[in-house]
Amino acid sequence: MQREREHDFPAEPLDLDWQAFAACASLPNALADRLFYPPRGNTGAAAKRICAGCDVRQECLEYALEDLDAYNHGIWGGTTFREWRRIRQAMKRAASLTPLHAGLPSR
């Protein structure tokens, strides 16, 4: 009897159809790699300009935010890893806040 292997795959398959509509999708791979994975110290401004006009920028950012460990480099959704980390921290803080109305009697 074969033992089932544990895996790190998401419970549901990711819908990545949005990638076909990305502004960067038509770039040659070598150019995309240079722009979206800039060397340390480079702000990625050229990639961010491409992202600024992208129809699926939000989907791209959400994809990167799903797993910061897997996508801890490059420009995704017009943001750098450092920027995503700030966004993720802000999301966690917001999720941990208790709504002001919590615990108040209803009318």
Mean pLDDT by 10 residues, the chain (107 residues): 45 73 95 92 93 94 78 86 86 75 57
Question: What is the percent of the chain with per-residue pLDDT over 90, rounded to a whole number?
Answer: 38
- Which structure tokens are listed for 94? 């917001």
Task: Read off φ and ψ for residue 76, nearest 5 degrees.
Answer: -130, 130
Confirm whether pTM is higher than 0.85.
no
Phi-psi region of 103 (alpha: psi -120 to 50; beta: other; left: phi over 0): left
Per-residue pLDDT reduced to its tens digit, 49-74: 999 999 999 999 988 888 766 667 88
- Which structure tokens are listed for 98? 């208790």
Q: Alpha-carbon distance 30 to 89, whole Å?
A: 32
Distance spanning both ends of the chain, measured CA to CA:
61
Classify 76 as helix, strand or coil.
strand
